Structure 1
């Protein structure tokens, strides 16, 4: 008997056993340092590069699992909206574009809201996903934000938004822009209910999102290196015809200039949120008013004087 016929079955068994699965063999490349990282290692590190610490975009469901105690949460139902209110079309129909994005991401729109506990404290978290049309703010995203805020008011829970967006969704025109005042009103309802509103800024947070709810938090937290601004640096440079300072619009620059309160590494974010909520929700648990905003009557009186 030929020796090859004897060893071939053994070789097949060895290679079959050691062959990695498609998921194990998948690689990611760090956009900052260029290092190759096994996808499963990237997921285990919450999408933070183990070589340079760069914070990559994190899927919304994994973000919720990392922030809520024990990864336990339940999603909040969002009212169904008209998918294509303006019958918009550019290179392709908006209705076709949004259906394709839903199939690709498994999400209904750019914002997902869920309830659970952080450090044992009832909380609602809304996460904005950049993978859904650049995290653009449209009616669906606005509905999810408002639904999450109203749920927090009903349940006397803290409300946290994790932002990641390129701005308003152009395919929805003025309806998209109207989500800016709409979400601002929802934030005011939280304040009148003496409930904390915390913003976690991730890369990137720009456009109409920055011009509305992303900059209205009682506490402004950012991940390291996040781009935060209204217009992008290239647009500003071409407009003012001046070279911008190094690190302009990055989280570290904003912290230095007093526009945010703290920068927190993703691995420490859940613990930091728990610590902040323990301070802010202490009064709510004791039925004492929180000092987040003066009563509505006091505000009107101050305005009159």
Structure 2
């Protein structure tokens, strides 16, 4: 076996020592790559990071408090092979779904943080992603925390159909209260790729929209747009640089400088913050586990007293979860 063949085989194995840059093909030692925030030494291309790696690069050690770690979805539509794909993704990533949420300190400043993980079914947004992000936003609203969401997604999860698409409005509604009534700051961080329903909702609603260099950001695919418009698109179409040039982004920041840049932004915001007001109807649960227990008891009562089918129950707004 040649050295290159051995390196390629090693890069495909879990826990391998080497990998290749997707853009320039350079052979990279994984230990050194992690120390460099997964930025290629040769072409400065930003490679994929897991949600936990991003968490370590942003939040001060020992300050992370996770939310809803055990929340997981079921197969509400009995979609072909969805249940097995979920189990595979959970086993491979160690996550219950494609987003982690919680609170922590960023250079001593408390923030509410959500990070999407593209390694979990392409970072697709299903009912659990919508529920976790909505709970995070509501908690940040009640506690007056700055909100940061790191986006990396292929869009809405087709396996959950309309339940997935509903999350776009659900998250956006929570953000409306957070931004326009509580007057708090939401920072959206767009990484590659950020596409589909995520782009069409909360990814583009940030008070500040930041992105990594050369990140793929868009709604529909390039080929679909070219076939629809019947014209050739620019080479850099749907890149972060293209969006910045056309006014859809505020800033492009290289990954190794992201934490210092966020600290500067948050420090400035603390000096000029305008106080808002949490709506009177807004009630924050003191114990999310107790809330979930009560919700499930109500679910069982509704099923037993009204004998509803699952489809009818979904129409009432219930998001199935384990």
User: Does the 8 A contact of 1:78 with 1:147 survive in 2?
Assistant: no
> Could you say which residue in structure 1 is the equivalent of 2:200?
211
In structure 2, C-alpha distance between the alignment counterparts of 1:179 and 1:151, rounded to whole Å: 17
Give how far 1:81 is off: 5.0
How high is the TM-score relative to the length of structure 1? 0.82
C-alpha change, 1:24 and 1:131, in structure 2 (3 Å) is closer
Give how far 1:157 is off: 0.9
Give how far 1:73 is off: 1.2
**Counterparts in 2 of 1:71-86, with a 5 A limit?**
72-77=63-68, 80-86=71-77
Q: For structure 2, which runs of at least 5 residues remain unmatched after alignment?
A: 1-12, 280-322
Aligned to 1:202, the other structure's residue is in SS state strand
Aligned to 1:124, the other structure's residue is in SS state strand
Give how far 1:283 is off: 4.3
User: Does the 8 A contact of 2:72 with 2:96 survive in 1?
Assistant: no
> Could you say which residue in structure 1 is the equivalent of 2:143?
155
> Could you say which residue in structure 2 is the equivalent of 1:17?
none
In structure 2, C-alpha distance between the alignment counterparts of 1:24 and 1:197, rounded to whole Å: 36
Aligned to 2:115, the other structure's residue is in SS state strand
In structure 2, C-alpha distance between the alignment counterparts of 1:134 and 1:36, rounded to whole Å: 24
In structure 2, C-alpha distance between the alignment counterparts of 1:104 and 1:76, rounded to whole Å: 21
Deviations 1:65-88, CA, capped at 9 Å, x for gaps: 101124641211257354111111
User: Does the 8 A contact of 1:25 with 1:38 survive in 2?
Assistant: no
1:117 aligns with 2:105: yes
**Counterparts in 2 of 1:1-305, with a 5 A limit?**
26-70=17-61, 72-77=63-68, 80-89=71-80, 93-191=81-179, 192-284=181-273, 288-289=274-275
Deviations 1:252-292, CA, capped at 9 Å, x for gaps: 010011000000000010111111111223345xxx427xx
In structure 2, C-alpha distance between the alignment counterparts of 1:181 and 1:261, rounded to whole Å: 24
User: Does the 8 A contact of 1:195 with 1:281 survive in 2?
Assistant: no
User: Does the 8 A contact of 2:71 with 2:96 survive in 1?
Assistant: no
Rg larger in 1 or in 2?
Answer: 1
In structure 2, C-alpha distance between the alignment counterparts of 1:71 and 1:46, rounded to whole Å: 20
Aligned to 2:161, the other structure's residue is in SS state helix
Give how far 1:114 is off: 2.0
Alignment RMSD = 2.1
How high is the TM-score relative to the length of structure 2? 0.78
In structure 2, C-alpha distance between the alignment counterparts of 1:182 and 1:97, rounded to whole Å: 25
> Could you say which residue in structure 2 is the equivalent of 1:9?
none
User: Does the 8 A contact of 1:205 with 1:228 survive in 2?
Assistant: yes
Kindly tell me the number of residue pairs found equivalent between the two proteins.
266
In structure 1, C-alpha distance between the alignment counterparts of 2:257 and 2:188, rounded to whole Å: 15
User: Does the 8 A contact of 2:141 with 2:278 survive in 1?
Assistant: no
In structure 2, C-alpha distance between the alignment counterparts of 1:23 and 1:136, rounded to whole Å: 22
Deviations 1:108-135, CA, capped at 9 Å, x for gaps: 1011112111132110110111111001
User: Does the 8 A contact of 1:65 with 1:71 survive in 2?
Assistant: no
Q: For structure 1, which runs of at least 5 residues remain unmatched after alignment?
A: 1-21, 297-305
In structure 1, C-alpha distance between the alignment counterparts of 2:147 and 2:16, rounded to whole Å: 39
